[in-house]
């Protein structure tokens, strides 16, 4: 449950930490020192409950409540797309914003060895909309495989191939970037997100995927300035386009 959804109260120090105003310990000190105002009055109790209806400021700056946050992560190989794991490093371990919000999750999964675009948020509705099979959101991947690719493969992807007995893929687009006797590379666009989808589709064509990277999801494109393991917040335009709203 969102801790602050629907006007639910949050501690003042937690509210400020969630909005990126500082670490909990810095904020506690600052609040005790009289640097926080709630509805125009100094509030020295870090445990004072506030809601999104309150006007909160810290160090002279008004801190508006942001219910949802959105991060673009360039997922590196070797980390898993889970929120918590006792043994393995997760994508959330990579986001080290001071005293990070505790309600974040990745939108969908990439395999441990897959790199590329991963959206991380606490917005359940957006996640649902992007992952819903009925919405057919395009995902573009760059793939390398262990043998040649040709017109027949492009045709098979385009027609919607029978991948396994119980898995017929929707029509997808295969654009061959380069092809040699023992290696090929391609861009693949799929409109669904079945488990190991790309690897299984190539396998049905007799090829093993040796490298896989997601480049985009709907209108959201991986920022190539982000190195594997790096992340940034989405811009307002990116958030709007993901939600299917008009951009100015």
Region near ligand URA per CB under 6 A, out of 59-67, 117-125, 195-203, 235-243? 195-203
Q: Which residue pairs from 167-176 have beta carbons closer than 8 angstroms and sit at least 24 positions apart in sequence?
A: 167/194, 167/200, 169/194, 169/197, 169/201, 170/136, 172/201, 174/149, 176/149, 176/150
Name the residue with tokens 């020192």: 33
Q: Please select the residue that binds ligand URA; options are 52, 93, 111, 154, rule is CB under 6 A.
A: 111
Q: Which of 197, 207, 220, 242 binds ligand URA (CB under 6 A)?
A: 197
**Considering the complex, what minimum distance in angstroms separates the CB of residue 204 from ligand URA?**
12
SS3 for 19? coil
Q: Which of 18, 54, 93, 111 is catalytic?
A: 111
> Which of residues 198, 217, 239, 242 is near ligand URA by CB under 6 A?
198
| 111 part of the active site | yes
DSSP letters along 213-227, please?
EEEEETTEE--TTSP
Q: What 3-state class would DSSP assign to 14?
A: helix
Given 199, 213, 231, 238, the residue binding ligand URA (CB under 6 A) = 199
Give the span between the Cα atoms of 93 and 200, in whole angstroms. 29
Give the contact letters, 54-93, x = binds to ligand URA (CB under 6 A), - = no: ----------------------------------------
Q: DSSP 3-state assignment of 111?
A: coil
The CB-of-112 to ligand URA minimum distance in angstroms stands at 8
The residue (of 122 and 197) whose beta carbon lies closer to ligand URA is 197
* Binding region for ligand URA (CB under 6 A) out of 18-26, 40-48, 110-118, 162-170: 110-118
Residue 115, interface with ligand URA (CB under 6 A)? no
Burial class of 185 by CB neighbour count within 10 A (0 to 12, 13 to 18, 19+): middle
Residue 120, both tokens? 């991380």
Triad 67, 68, 69: Cα angle to 5°? 135
CB of 11 to ligand URA, least distance (A): 38
DSSP assignment letter at 61? E
Interface residues with ligand URA (CB under 6 A) are 110-111, 114, 196-199, 212
């Amino acid at each position: 449950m969102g801790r602050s959804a629907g006007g639910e109260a949050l501690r003042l120090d937690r509210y400020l930490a969630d909005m990126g105003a500082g670490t909990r310990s810095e904020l506690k000190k600052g609040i005790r020192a009289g640097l926080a105002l709630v509805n125009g009055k100094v509030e020295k109790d870090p445990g004072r409950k506030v809601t999104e209806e309150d006007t909160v400021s810290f160090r002279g700056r008004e801190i508006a409540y942001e219910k949802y946050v959105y991060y673009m992560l360039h997922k590196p190989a070797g980390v898993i797309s889970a929120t918590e794991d006792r043994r393995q490093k997760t994508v959330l371990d990579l986001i080290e914003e001071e005293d990070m919000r505790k309600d974040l999750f990745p939108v969908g999964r990439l395999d441990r060895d897959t790199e590329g675009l991963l959206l991380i948020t606490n917005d359940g509705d957006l996640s649902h909309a992007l992952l819903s099979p009925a919405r057919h959101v395009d995902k573009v991947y760059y793939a390398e495989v262990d043998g040649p690719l040709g017109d027949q493969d492009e045709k098979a992807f385009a027609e919607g191939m029978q991948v396994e007995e119980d898995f017929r893929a929707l029509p997808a687009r295969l654009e061959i970037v380069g092809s040699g006797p023992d290696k090929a590379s391609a861009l693949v666009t799929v409109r669904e997100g079945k488990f190991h989808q790309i690897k299984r589709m190539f396998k049905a064509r007799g090829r093993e995927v040796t490298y896989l990277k997601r480049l985009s999801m709907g209108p959201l494109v991986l920022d190539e300035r982000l190195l594997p393991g790096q992340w940034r917040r989405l811009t307002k335009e990116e958030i709007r386009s993901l939600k299917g709203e008009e951009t100015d």
